[in-house]
Structure 1
Amino acid sequence: MRYEKRSSPPAPVLGLRENAAQFTLLVAVNALVGGMVGQQQTVLPLLADSEFGLTGYTFIFTYVAAFGITKAIANYFAGTCSDRYGRKPVLLVGWLFALPVPLMLIAAPNWGWVVAANVLLGINQGLTWSTTVVMKIDLVGPARRGLAMGLNEAAGYGAVAVSSLLAGYLAEHYGLRPAPFLLGLAYAALALLLSGGFVRETRDYARLEAAHHTPRTDGLHDHLHAELTDRQVALHTSLKEPALSSASHAGLVNNLNFGLSWGLFPLLFATADLSIAQIGLLFALYPGVWGAGQLITGGLSDRIGRKHLITGGMVIQAGALTVIAASDGFAGWAVGAVLLGCGTAMVYPTLLAVIGDVAHPIWRGRAVGVYRVWRDLGYAVGAILGGVVADLMGLHAAVWAAAAVSAAAALLVAVRMYETHPRQPVLRPPSRLAPDAS
């Protein structure tokens, strides 16, 4: 009897083109992650008012705060577990948490069910979105990291926009429940199929990059060696390392604006007697421009650097919120939403690229997790700040407050962050980062 030698799997090679199939699959999975959020953003504030009779803004925003806090905690565990146990198991567990969410929203007899569903959604988002980010960074290596993050975030937030529009259409024609939430059920089922059957583990790509890692020649990262403890990674990403920590704080303000918009914008737009479809369109403009813009800004940061895009984007966000706060009708709000999307597109993928630039491949998953803890706490901070200010001073005052916070964040980045984009290629052919290339 003749035995054939089983061929071993091909050695990992870093690069976007070299890993195009897996990268594209992960982009599709991340679009489904974003769709889970988009299915509810237009509908839940209206559901709170029409079916549950909630009028206090702070109480209505509890579901956004619950989502943000839970997602922030899940991000930390996503980063730690993906470094320790691998990326794919974390991704699969995250999607299991998504399955009950649309069913709970459809059946919810009171607002507590909605809050509980958003706790599960926060776990889902933290585990799945963090993991797809880390997996894409693993695959592409340092040369096109900004482009990779732009494609990732464009898919996620483009799906938020499309799902917001679809949910608004379904709600207007078929009612607030159950039709809009059937989208989420379909997204979760498809994502489980793709993640379980077709996504491959990427941790070996990070190990490969670590084996060829070249530190900066200017000495800025000499203190960031490979063997950092979880506590050291958290301290550097949160407070000590100037680029990592200022990125974390800017990320918090970005999602403060998103959390505020999620809970407050539909209520603000409803003061002008707009239809559900018009409110859905206005809300979709922000993540739609944000998502599409990242197709440009991610790659642009690979060419011109990170810092100026982040600083300029924060300034534009502050201006956009000023326009929204000063407006009372569809036209002004539409202009402000487009500007807010442009500013966020400049910042969002670029902040992730900063984390990838600075963090060592061995602890990069943990650094991404800690950064996303800070960033996604912004949902809760925005919801609470927006709710309290809106209750005390009105909806427009809450948007003015967010504009002031965004301007302060721009100043912090301008003063504290240094340029993190590598000035020369770190990893290049002919070895193409294959093992034993020498």
Structure 2
Amino acid sequence: MLGQERTVLPLLATDVFGLDSYTAALTYILAFGLAKAFTNYLAGTWSERYGRKPVLVAGWLVAVPVPMLLIWAPDWWIVVGANVLLGISQGLTWSTTVIMKIDLVGPSRRGLAMGLNESAGYLALAVTALITGEIAANAGLRPEPFLVGIAYAALGLGLSTLAVRETRGHADHEASTQAQTGDQPSDLTDRQVFTQTSFREPALSSASQAGLVNNLNDGLAWGLFPVLFISAGLSLGPTGLLVALYPAVWGLGQLASGALSDRWGRKHLITAGMLVQAAALAAIAATDTLTAWALASIALGAGTAMVYPTLLASIGDVAHPSWRARAVGVYRLWRDLGFAVGALLTGVLADAFGIREAIWAIAGLTAGSGLLVAVRMYETHPRQGRQ
């Protein structure tokens, strides 16, 4: 559902709706990020209160009108409204699949489970970005590229309703068998969970800020990379390939990085991944050829793969099972606020200084985030211990 927008929507903003301001053109990412971030928080709370499956099915129901709105939209604000619905849908569905997989696996395989979950999502995003880019190159920006989204919504709703089973009982069982510790008590209120995950607990809060910066990068890539590549003279076909390459490597890489974090630990993989992302962004800002951009996109995908499932696994390591779903919701609140912050910050910077200068600035911010993890975060994996 998200992949259908990656190649087409930035070009729709400029070519169809005539938006000449980067800040205005990126409003759909801002709307998506805000809606998804706050729905993530609610998804964690609701999945503990009502169960995982009802929240998942509700998320797919919200997704159904999105591709039709994108096809029909006579005004840019309809596109923005469709992305509010998409953000709500993503917050409910993706948060719940993360929580369900954490329910189903023990601590020794938590990284692997997160790698599988995130890999499935981002490989689908990459394939769809490539497909819709090819469709747009041959049939135009609307309506054909968004027809695949209608099929995805039907499949997601059908599978979630008919095939998925409730997993909350697994978390309840784990909570009943896990002894309460002084560091992570089992009886936290919603406010205490938010404070612990956001600010107080070193590993949880370090993961939250790194997640925000990681998705800030993704908001930048989503909104500005297609415009940069087209402005440099690339056609829609190569642009779609570049746009798909980054999430494809991201998706495939998570199959390995999630499992490696179970073996090597979380902290150093997160630190290294943030620094690799910073270097890749700097390379995209500094170069202007298809080959150089392709190599940098591969590096950006690899760095993101090192970070993405590992951050989620670290939340699962630290949070007590009785409030783990809420902690995942708070973490994903901060992480997906990165889309909104990225859209707003990079749009303002690009309007004021240019696209390349905006990318340089975000590269520096990403490097700083990685160094903060290196200084503040401790190792969370049970077999590695605190380091």
What's the TM-score, normalizing by structure 1? 0.87
CA positional deviation for 1:214: 4.5
Task: Measure the CA separation in 2 of the matches of 1:54 and 1:277.
Answer: 22
1:267 matched residue in structure 2: 227
1:257 matched residue in structure 2: 217
**Correspondence 1:348-359 to 2 at 5 A:** 348-359=308-319
1:291 equivalent among 251, 257, 263: 251
How many correspondences in the alignment? 385
Confirm or deny: 8 A CA contact 2:174 2:321 kept in the other structure: yes
Q: Which amino acid aligns with 1:226?
A: S
2:358 matched residue in structure 1: 398
CA positional deviation for 1:111: 0.3
Task: Measure the CA separation in 1 of the matches of 2:303 and 2:379.
Answer: 19
1:15 matched residue in structure 2: none
2:144 equivalent to 1:144: no
Alpha-carbon spacing, 1:270–1:86, altered in 2? closer, same or farther (3 Å): same
Task: Measure the CA separation in 1 of the matches of 2:106 and 2:345.
Answer: 38
2:298 matched residue in structure 1: 338
Alpha-carbon spacing, 1:424–1:415, altered in 2? closer, same or farther (3 Å): closer
Q: Which amino acid aligns with 1:229?
A: T
Over residues 246-274 of structure 1, what are the superposed CA-to-partner deviations in whole Å (9 max), with x where a residue is unaligned?
00000000000000110000001111211
Task: Measure the CA separation in 2 of the matches of 1:141 and 1:184.
Answer: 34
2:350 equivalent to 1:385: no
1:430 matched residue in structure 2: none
**Correspondence 1:36-435 to 2 at 5 A:** 36-214=1-179, 222-423=182-383
Task: Measure the CA separation in 2 of the matches of 1:147 and 1:222.
Answer: 28
Confirm or deny: 8 A CA contact 2:59 2:90 kept in the other structure: yes
What's the TM-score, normalizing by structure 2? 0.98
Q: Which amino acid aligns with 1:286?
A: Y
CA positional deviation for 1:374: 0.2
Q: Which amino acid aligns with 1:358?
A: V
Query: Where in structure 1 are there 5+ consecutive unaligned residues?
Result: 1-35, 216-220, 426-438
Over residues 140-194 of structure 1, what are the superposed CA-to-partner deviations in whole Å (9 max), with x where a residue is unaligned?
1212000000000000111110000011011111111111111111001011111
Task: Measure the CA separation in 2 of the matches of 1:327 and 1:395.
Answer: 13
CA positional deviation for 1:211: 1.7
CA positional deviation for 1:424: 7.7
Larger Rg: 1
Task: Measure the CA separation in 2 of the matches of 1:193 and 1:122.
Answer: 20
- State the superposition RMSD in angstroms: 1.1
Q: Which amino acid aligns with 2:118?
A: E
Structure 1 window deviating more from structure 2 (203-212 vs 238-247): it is: 203-212
Task: Measure the CA separation in 2 of the matches of 1:370 and 1:424.
Answer: 25
Any runs of at least 4 consecutive aligned residues in structure 1 with deviations exceeding 2 A, and if so which?
none
Task: Measure the CA separation in 2 of the matches of 1:424 and 1:37.
Answer: 36
Q: Which amino acid aligns with 1:138?
A: D
Task: Measure the CA separation in 2 of the matches of 1:74 and 1:407.
Answer: 28
Task: Measure the CA separation in 2 of the matches of 1:183 and 1:137.
Answer: 30
Task: Measure the CA separation in 1 of the matches of 2:133 and 2:322.
Answer: 43
Confirm or deny: 8 A CA contact 2:26 2:347 kept in the other structure: yes
Q: Which amino acid aligns with 1:253?
A: V
Q: Which amino acid aligns with 1:291?
A: G
Query: Where in structure 2 are there 5+ consecutive unaligned residues?
Result: none
Task: Measure the CA separation in 2 of the matches of 1:114 and 1:139.
Answer: 37
- Give SS of 2:248's match: helix
Task: Measure the CA separation in 1 of the matches of 2:107 and 2:177.
Answer: 11
Alpha-carbon spacing, 1:360–1:69, altered in 2? closer, same or farther (3 Å): same
